[in-house]
Amino acid sequence: MEGDSNGGMLYHEVQESNLCAVHCVNTVLQGPFFSEFDLAALASDLDSKERQMMLEGTASAAVSSDFLSEESHNVSLGGDFSIQVLQKALEVWDLQVIPLDCPVAEAAQIDPELENAFICHLHDHWFCIRKVNGEWYNFDSLNAAPLNFSKFYLSAYLDSLKGSGWSIFLVRGNFPKEFPISSSEASNGYGQWLSPEDAESITKSCNLTQAPSQRNTMSQQPALTETDLQLLSDMEDEDLRVAIAASLMNSSPATASAEVSTPKTES
């Protein structure tokens, strides 16, 4: 039987400045594969290609002038990157980023638990939901640790996000199987490797020390609805109900160089 990826460890990045897009890409890949400089370089390259296409295309001179006058269409002054930048970064590892409402993603809409990763975006914040070693986690960088939740609640959770205005993207392909944790690139200053037990312990500790009012006002993810509460009440497993409630109430989105040895991949 094949062993767990990265020795069973989870890779999580805690929010640094406005680098949530970097954190999102790296937690999808489960390792510090990209830095903000890598994504900025991809954004600059995309800007150059887009401007060149406008100059060579059939667009009117007025439209081209307006387009060329913009600073960048792929990274803001605040550090927020476009979905095209995230797509380019993940393409380096042969991964596709597909809007969840796209026809090709219809199967994922029906059975999302059969997939491996989703990217979520609202306003200036990115985060990923990732399956690691058979378990689903919310790797939002605004959380101190990844939040584990049941695959049975994944579909309802994604629907709640979409209903609250979040854009959801499916990630498909051969995900990196291993990152050389012992290498000098295993940490970028805001990333950390955690065992599932450590992640759970950190989350419980944060829940105990953080006032409920703080959790509710900070969160921009959907709160528990009557339907959610009914679903939770119908579940027989008390521990599962507690874990799902904690995941929804405490998640708060607000807001690498790829030159490493070729890793194994997981399907």
* Residue from 38, 47, 80, 140 carrying the catalytic annotation: 140
Task: Summarize the confidence of residues 211-231 as an average pLDDT.
Answer: 48
- Give the model confidence (pLDDT) of 148-192 as tens digits: 999 888 999 999 999 999 999 999 999 998 887 665 555 567 899
* Residue from 20, 24, 120, 128 carrying the catalytic annotation: 20
Query: CA-CA distance, 234 to 120, in Å (whole number)?
Result: 28
Count of the separate structural domains present in the chain: 1
Query: CA-CA distance, 116 to 255, in Å (whole number)?
Result: 24
Task: Summarize the confidence of residues 81-105 as an average pLDDT.
Answer: 95
Task: Summarize the confidence of residues 234-263 as an average pLDDT.
Answer: 46
Domain ranges, residue 35: 10-58+71-208
- Of these ranges, 43-47, 131-135, 216-220, the one predicted with the greatest mean pLDDT is 131-135
Residue 83 lies in a domain: yes
For residue 138, give the H/E element and its range. Answer: strand 135-138
Residue 267 lies in a domain: no
Predicted TM-score of the model (pTM): 0.74
Is 120 labeled as catalytic in the residue annotation? no
pLDDT of 259 strictly over 90: no
CATH of residue 194: 3.90.70.40
Q: Token pair 């998640």 is at which residue?
A: 251
Q: What is the mean pLDDT of the chain?
A: 78
Residue 154 lies in a domain: yes
Confidence of residue 73 (pLDDT cuts 50, 70, 90): low
Is 206 labeled as catalytic in the residue annotation? no
Task: Summarize the confidence of residues 218-241 as an average pLDDT.
Answer: 49
Is 140 labeled as catalytic in the residue annotation? yes
Residue 239 lies in a domain: no
Out of 82-86, 152-156, 181-185, 227-231, which region has the weakest mean confidence (pLDDT)?
227-231
* Residue from 23, 24, 125, 128 carrying the catalytic annotation: 125
Residue 261 lies in a domain: no
All residues at 6 or more sequence positions from 117 whose CB lies less than 8 Å from its CB, including other chains: 28, 128, 129, 130, 131, 170, 171, 175
